[in-house]
Chains A and B, each alone.
Chain A
């Protein structure tokens, strides 16, 4: 019973577990999904998993530095996706596919 109660008290380990699971899901999505927009979503998932770990560490270390880094990461992620969507738009304008499998001209 005691171990069950300590399991229910949310600690650093719980946050880290969730974060690592999210990160692995992101990697899995990146490797298996074929649509570029879904690939970008997986990348965002990985960045946000890292953010969760940063916030958790920041809380349990009792310092605010980690939370500041999260702000920077969120900003950068937005910039990255903006550029990424612009690239997808240029692909679509040229009537090129947005499927990862079809981007294979540069290979020999």
Chain B
């Protein structure tokens, strides 16, 4: 048993259990501020501890490996978890709601996300995906006094359960052909010619299951409805953390099971990612609800990140990790502002954003900065991320793959289209329509506790710093991508 690779998760489980036991001891009246303080400090300590673990722990024949990639993403998930813990808390206080129900489900989903970073086994691939998904079924349908939340909960559950059933079938086929569940052994396995169809059927089914999680094009259908119906902090988690888990798992699986970079595999990823970019960007244009808009933009961003799979070398994956981390923190900042709007104005339509500049200037600034970064305007992280991804696609494309050149052109087109709707959000904040100006712009200041300033600044720093000083962050993501070994059978 590889306990060394499990330290942080054990700490997180212990934290969740302590909060649960305290809740029971206080006969379900655990003082919100007390539980909140324990949770925040505990998550903070775990975050610091994760930076103290410097050396990867690789144990042969273990189901979990704490390599560079796992360590890097665990730090990201802890920082993201801490930020969302505070955002959730602020939202709960505004609703006068029970502290424990929401936050415990969130912390337990976070445990699943952290384990997902270091998997080396197909059983854990399935298990961690479900460890994240099952708490999210509850969180999406959490507002059980609202029809839209329940409806999106049901939709999410049906689609997620379908995805996991498809994935188990895929795991069965891959296991049946290769005889192993371990990803490192799978990487050394070459399917015999007569079993090739069954093997690739299994791989495709698993990719479909994971494609659901990242809302890639043919498996995206749930995203807009679920994002719109769920409460704002839950939508933020779905768009950042849950999508990041999908990408981590997909990276682990695709690198071990598919010979990335060979012509056919490249073509597969080119098609999926080009379709996601086009569909996401074009459908986002007419949206009037900011959460639905971010759902479509999330489909397009999944497309940008999947370009790394089409290229399939360490450079592309380090660019993808860079983009993924910047994207997750950008979304966190955006949803800090959207949560405020939704709980104060009671709506997440673009018109409601007119309330922000007068009632909470920092949140307005944060949301605009997030949109600028997502649009890929130069000083921000989104620009460098897109630039690095496109660079790796171009280099490989010039080396001889026409499909990749086409993909790069489609991605460039997508980026240009996306500027329109991202700036539409900024316009809705600062230059609203007359109707919105009349109904939403006035009102008193929204309470903005100091701790939210800290979260907002963290998110802002992760939007700006990687953009103006990329070398430091690129070194980290290159170290993370260095842990991947690519197969070539």
* Cα-based distance from A94 to B173 in the complex (angstroms): 42
Question: Which residues of the partner chain A approach B158 to less than 8 Å between Cβ atoms?
Answer: 30, 39, 43
Q: Please give the distance in Å from A5's CB to the nearest CB on chain B.
A: 24
Q: Please give the distance in Å from B309's CB to the nearest CB on chain A.
A: 25
B261 within 8 A of A: no
Q: Please give the distance in Å from A31's CB to the nearest CB on chain B.
A: 10
Known contacts A76-B164, A96-B150, A61 near B176 by CB under 8 Å? yes
Q: Please give the distance in Å from A42's CB to the nearest CB on chain B.
A: 9
Known contacts A57-B172, A106-B152, A83 near B157 by CB under 8 Å? yes
B134 within 8 A of A: yes
B123 within 8 A of A: yes
Query: Is the CB–CB distance between B123 and A103 below 8 Å?
Result: no
B162-194 contacts to A, CB under 8 A, are 162, 164-166, 168-169, 171-173, 175-176, 179-181
Select one of B134, B138, B157, B176 contacting A53, CB under 8 A. B176
Query: Is the CB–CB distance between B154 and A87 below 8 Å?
Result: yes
Which DSSP category, helix, strand, loop or mixed, fits chain A's interface? helix
Query: Is the CB–CB distance between B179 and A84 below 8 Å?
Result: no
Question: Which residues of the partner chain B approach A66 to less than 8 Å between Cβ atoms?
Answer: 172, 175-176, 181
A72 within 8 A of B: yes
Query: Is the CB–CB distance between A106 and B148 below 8 Å?
Result: yes
A35 within 8 A of B: no
Which residue of chain A has the shortest Cβ distance to B124 in the bound complex? A72
Question: Which residues of the partner chain A approach B229 to less than 8 Å between Cβ atoms?
Answer: 106
The digit string for B149-160, where 1 denotes a CB below 8 A from any CB of A, is 011111101100
B130 within 8 A of A: yes
Query: Is the CB–CB distance between A53 and B169 below 8 Å?
Result: yes
Which residue of chain A has the shortest Cβ distance to B135 in the bound complex? A83
Known contacts A46-B165, A65-B123, A68-B123, A103 near B172 by CB under 8 Å? no
Which residue of chain A has the shortest Cβ distance to B151 in the bound complex? A103
Q: Please give the distance in Å from B152's CB to the nearest CB on chain A.
A: 6
Question: Which residues of the partner chain A approach B130 to less than 8 Å between Cβ atoms?
Answer: 76, 79-80
Bin the interface of chain A by size: 35 or more
B335 within 8 A of A: no
The digit string for A17-57, where 1 denotes a CB below 8 A from any CB of B, is 00100010010001000001001100100110111011011
* Cα-based distance from A76 to B147 in the complex (angstroms): 27
Which DSSP category, helix, strand, loop or mixed, fits chain B's interface? helix
Query: Is the CB–CB distance between B150 and A90 below 8 Å?
Result: yes
Query: Is the CB–CB distance between A106 and B138 below 8 Å?
Result: no
Select one of B169, B173, B179, B228 contacting A106, CB under 8 A. B228
Q: Please give the distance in Å from B64's CB to the nearest CB on chain A.
A: 15
Which residue of chain B has the shortest Cβ distance to A58 in the bound complex? B175
Question: Which residues of the partner chain A approach B153 to less than 8 Å between Cβ atoms?
Answer: 87
Question: Which residues of the partner chain A approach B456 to less than 8 Å between Cβ atoms?
Answer: none
The digit string for A65-108, where 1 denotes a CB below 8 A from any CB of B, is 11011001100100110011011101101101000000101110
Known contacts A91-B154, A103-B154, A73 near B168 by CB under 8 Å? yes
Select one of B161, B179, B225 contacting A43, CB under 8 A. B161
Query: Is the CB–CB distance between B126 and A69 below 8 Å?
Result: yes
* Cα-based distance from A80 to B171 in the complex (angstroms): 19
Question: Which residues of the partner chain A approach B122 to less than 8 Å between Cβ atoms?
Answer: 69
A3 within 8 A of B: no
B141 within 8 A of A: yes
Could you give 13 example pairs across A and B, Cβ below 8 Å? A40-B161, A50-B168, A50-B171, A53-B169, A57-B175, A61-B176, A61-B179, A69-B171, A83-B157, A86-B138, A90-B141, A90-B150, A106-B152
Interfacial residues, chain A to chain B (CB-CB below 8 A): 19, 23, 26, 30, 36, 39-40, 43, 46-47, 49-51, 53-54, 56-58, 60-61, 63, 65-66, 68-69, 72-73, 76, 79-80, 83-84, 86-88, 90-91, 93-94, 96, 103, 105-107
Interfacial residues, chain B to chain A (CB-CB below 8 A): 122-123, 126-127, 130, 134, 137-138, 141, 144-145, 147-148, 150-155, 157-158, 161-162, 164-166, 168-169, 171-173, 175-176, 179-181, 224-225, 228-229
Told that A46-B169, A66-B172 touch, could you supply 8 new A-B pairs with CB distance under 8 A?
A53-B172, A54-B175, A69-B181, A87-B150, A87-B157, A90-B141, A96-B150, A106-B151
